[in-house]
A and B are shown apart, each in its own frame.
Chain A
Amino acid sequence: MRGATHAKWVACATAAALAATACGGGGDGGGGAGGEVLSSSWGDPQNPLEPANTNEVQGGKVLDMVFRGLKRYDPETGAAEDMLAEKIETTDQQNFTITVKDGWTFSNGEKVTAKSFVDAWNYGAALKNNQRNAYFFSYIQGYDKVHPEKGEQSADTLSGLKVTGERTFTVALAQKWSTFPDTLGYNAYVPLPRAFFDDHDAWLAKPVGNGPYTVQSYTRGSQMSLRKWEEYPGPDKAQNGGVDLKVYTDNNTAYTDLMAGNLDLVDDVPAAQLRNVRSDLGDRYLNTPAGIIQTLAFPYYDKNWGKEGMDKVRKGLSMAIDREQITETIFQKTRTPATDWTSPVLGADGGYKAGLCGDACEYRPDEAKKLIQEGGGLPGGQVRIAYNADTGSHKDWVDAVCNSVNNALDNDRACVGNPVGTFADFRKQITENKMTGPFRAGWQMDYPLIQNFLQPLYYTNGSSNDGKWSNAEFDKLVDEANAEDDTAAAVERFQQAEEVVRDNMAAIPLWYQNGSAGYSERLSDVRLNPFSVPVYDQIKVG
């Protein structure tokens, strides 16, 4: 079996070299390159596979193959482009009229209508359905009735959603938000067929969607087989016959399987292999920017860290971190030193501004020492950086950051790591405002917009404002940005807001994270999208 595929590959390569054409050439229907199935590593999704309940990459991977939403983010540029949306219109940046394209169906034949969207969104927002991503609908009018902070929900549907025709519906937001249409590429906003509501258990056992792949079989906890949907009406038809997602407990085993030719695609190269991955895989190793930024957040509710004048200490700490060296030695360049609070995947037009942080994100040990002294020194003479010790090997970089700080301040006890046993406990201490020093914070974007890197994290009482930072000027600028009807002007306002974050050093940006993947010789056209998920439909086999 292995020998055969190998021989075929050699034959294909030769043919390709001679004729400079793609190998196989089976076109869409079966046979040749179009019909072959590839295998890819996977992790068991943490939550049931409902669109509004999936908040991690492993489940997101499947949704990305099985569903298409109103918008889709270009895998290359991250720009939101119309997929099912024919047009999204607004005159006041608050009330939107959405028209769904004609001709789309779910793989079970049901038509995708305006109602498919409205029902799905109402389901996602309702408190009784326990959807982890419910907060995505919090900008829509009536959310407080459907998903109250306390007690039972008093309404089942969002008052801001109305079906006005077979293919049109209106969305009324609670506040102005001009870039709202660009968020609609997120998985939580996909349409759902009636089968989802009528026979929920059966749907969960074998999800049905409107994307380029259909689920052929799903064995929970071990494997999902996805096959190309031949009648898929969209423009991005699958270029391969299907994908077998295999659950691996340990990404090292997945990597070994890739080396042995037992697996085609690994989208998480284990840290231990980073040193030799280039020699193992050559140019079959991908290391591309993803919409993830790592920062150090501060507990502004703590009396030591929340007091006036501490911004100098925070800036000093930031200048004491040698990002260049740490990303090179610890992460083998799979992360890039951060120079702003967003991510390079946004692009300059989207709001990423390299160097916005300026001197404060550069390694300047002398200035760091001076600034910290001016700010009144470290509270209690020591910073303790909190992190969870169970997953993600955070210890390595926290220790490196502390080393760097200690060297800069000429004090062996200036900075130490503060490990918390489990991730759940770590999150618990954060949610209960029990942190007493800086803690690691990672942010993976939901959609490639500058808004997503700022508002949830730094807006007063923002959904992920873990440090409880609050700044009236920042809030005002964000509100203004959201009301702006011109995208470029909105981005500019957001950047002004980001400058407020910089001037106060609300959080210390550390580095941008890359997505990594390795693949076998059978595959070509493998790419990672800005969410560090492989673009499966474009992969060619053979």
Chain B
Amino acid sequence: MGRYVLRRLLQMIPVFVGATLLIFLMVNVMGDPIAGLCGDRRCDPATAAQLRAEFGLDKPVWQQYLTYMGNVFTGDFGTAFNGQPVTELMGSAFPVTIRLTIVAILFEIVIGITLGVVTGLRRGRPVDTTVLLVTLVVISVPTFVTGLLLQLLLGVEWGWIKPSVSPEAGFGELIVPGLVLASVSLAYVTRLTRTSIAENKRSDYVRTAIAKGLPRHRVVTRHLLRNSLIPVVTFIGTDVGALMGGAIVTERIFNIHGVGYQLYQGILRQNTQTVVGFVTVLVLVFLVANLLVDLLYAVLDPRIRYA
């Protein structure tokens, strides 16, 4: 087990280096960020040169990358163009997005799995058909439509929520944005659980458990659900990374000042330091979440062993 984890951690290094290098190059290809700093007018050449030197943009790209990586390992993610250290931006943005992701994941787990179990056990019944139809609609409607619609209905028409989230972004305010963010994944989780449950319902060990005279809820939770959850856990695990990075649309709609907001602004202002820094952390989150998923397999299914 320990060796497996170590091997996986070592594998992360090339992935990490490759990902950061790619992002670094992509942001650089977009052009000279200093040219855009003075608005619709010409930056005076002396100040532009001075700024370029300050942000290290006067050096060749490979050298910029090496200096950047060197700094990252000492915990310095550089400075954004407005003079704020990127670590400070991260400190304010990540907690917000993590809260949003937690809300979204909770929705996926609670609603998604419950609906999946219910429909899986009642296949072909009206409940099943209805839920299937609803998930189909949710999957086919893009997030920004759901988001804007809910914002307009709940925020403006009915006045149940505030259309935008305050800078503090407490859990209470994040319920609706979290639901919007989770909606598509939630539908997938429902469908995955449903299929898995329906399949395992016919398996031998479930028949044995029922024949032993175990109570129904015990059969479902201990035997059926535990075995059916493996694909669902994989999905949710990889979804953590996707939700954190993919929150750009939701964060924009509800004016949440999280990772998506910083990334968007960083891209718009061609701020290499911000974009690379945030994406690097997202890559790490993704890798760690994947590792945790793999380790969870062993917990859910004792037949799986890592050596």
Contact = CB atoms under 8 A, between A and B. Distances in A.
Contact of B36 (A148, A222, A254, A427): A427
B257 A247 contact: yes
A250 B252 contact: yes
Contacts of B36: 422-428
B234 to A, nearest CB: 33
A149 B30 contact: no
A89 interface: no
Interface string A118-147: 000000000110111011000000000001
Nearest to B32: A428
B167 interface: yes
Given A249-B264, A253-B164, A46 B159 contact: no
B37 A47 contact: yes
Contacts of A456: 41
A127 B50 CA distance: 8
B42 A150 contact: no
Contact of A44 (B31, B156, B162, B265): B265
Nearest to A45: B82
A246 B167 CA distance: 9
Contacts of A427: 35-36, 38, 42
A279 interface: no
Contact of A257 (B45, B162, B265, B269): B162
A260 B254 CA distance: 13
Contacts of A444: 39-40
B156 A442 contact: no
Contact of A262 (B54, B164, B264, B269): B164
Contacts of A132: 37-38, 43, 47
Nearest to B254: A253
Contacts of A263: 164
A164 interface: no
B31 A130 contact: no
B90 to A, nearest CB: 12
A52 B153 CA distance: 44
B92 A424 contact: no
Contacts of B159: 2, 260-261
Interface residues of B, number: 51
A261 B164 CA distance: 11
A132 B34 CA distance: 11
Nearest to A465: B42
A150 B155 CA distance: 55
A249 to B, nearest CB: 5
Given A47-B82, A425-B35, A257 B163 contact: yes
A147 B46 contact: yes
A503 interface: no
A254 B81 CA distance: 25
A130 B50 contact: yes
B296 interface: no
A75 B229 CA distance: 66
Contacts of A393: none
Contacts of B83: 47-48, 204
A236 interface: no
A73 B97 CA distance: 43
Contact of B265 (A47, A249, A262, A422): A249
Nearest to B31: A425
A263 B255 CA distance: 13
14 contacts: A47-B81, A130-B50, A149-B45, A221-B257, A249-B255, A253-B253, A262-B162, A421-B31, A423-B36, A424-B31, A425-B31, A426-B36, A428-B36, A430-B35
Given A132-B43, A247-B255, 19 more contacts: A46-B269, A55-B38, A55-B39, A56-B39, A132-B47, A220-B88, A220-B92, A250-B255, A253-B253, A256-B155, A256-B164, A390-B268, A422-B30, A422-B36, A423-B36, A424-B36, A424-B270, A425-B36, A456-B41
